[in-house]
Amino acid sequence: MMVHSSTSATGDEAPILKVQGLVFAYPARRLFDGWCARFVSGLHLVCGDDGSGKTTLLRLLAAELPAQVGDLQLASVRLADNPAAYRQQVFRTDPASSVFEDKTPLQWFDTLRGAYPAFDMAKAEALLERLFLQPHLHKTGHMLSTGSRRKVWLVAALASGATLLLLDQPFAALDTPSIRAVTALLQQAGRSAGRVIVLADYEAPAGLHLTQTLDLD
């Protein structure tokens, strides 16, 4: 389905991320046609069925995919003016990636310090414990379960210090205790001033207070 616009429930708070007139199409399908949105600090949900453009939108917001038309501004940085400065403020989780296949979580986090100068290793270690990952810290990425990999990505995002966190299906493949722990962490992180967290999922996760919901169906 083509998406023309989004609704916003942001009140009087100044937006941190502004998207204006976004146009993007694959050869066989146009997904976004003049799409606009404003994101204040807090938790935001992008929802929709398979093929609705959830992951594509996250990649566009991360400046990993170039839009055919449109303007993105994060804090005071316009993507068109300074792509490097824009991207340095963004962390997108990609659990399907092989980026830390041959590294343990802590080894991978150490490499992230180069891209994210504000990366907080002490916070990362505390989050690993809260997400029951302590017994797996000696394992490299290819040895971890799908759920554990997803949790490692979430820890990296929350510890990165980035202004914009883009989380693709953060609850997929998690057991019930992990879902509860991730819900609590996201709810806590969503209260941080000056940070936008965008979740992409099929429907609203239970127990999360969302600042805004954008339905792509």
Output the pTM of the full model.
Answer: 0.94
* pLDDT score, position 168: 96
Q: Given pLDDT bands bounded at 50, 70 and 90, which one contains residue 96?
A: confident
What angle, 0 to 180 degrees and rounded to 10, lies between the N-to-C axes of helices 176-189 and 146-159?
10
Q: Which domains does the chain have, with CATH numbers?
A: 41-54+89-215 (3.40.50.300)
Q: How confident is the prediction for the chain on average, in pLDDT?
A: 93
For residue range 184-204, list pLDDT tens digits in order: 999 999 999 999 999 999 999
For residue range 123-149, list pLDDT tens digits in order: 999 999 999 999 999 999 999 999 999
Question: For residue 146, what are the contacts with CB-CB under 8 A and spacing of at least 6?
Answer: 95, 172, 173
For residue range 156-179, list pLDDT tens digits in order: 999 999 999 999 999 999 999 999
Of 8, 154, 19, the C-alpha closest to 74 is 19
CA distance 217 to 194: 29
CA distance 82 to 10: 26
Burial-class residue 66 by CB neighbours within 10 Å (0-12, 13-18, 19+). Answer: exposed
* pLDDT score, position 149: 96
Percentage of the chain with pLDDT > 70?
95
CA distance 180 to 150: 14
Q: Furthest-apart CA pair in the chain: how many Å?
A: 47
Q: In this model, does residue 103 exceed pLDDT 90?
A: yes
For residue range 82-93, list pLDDT tens digits in order: 999 999 999 999
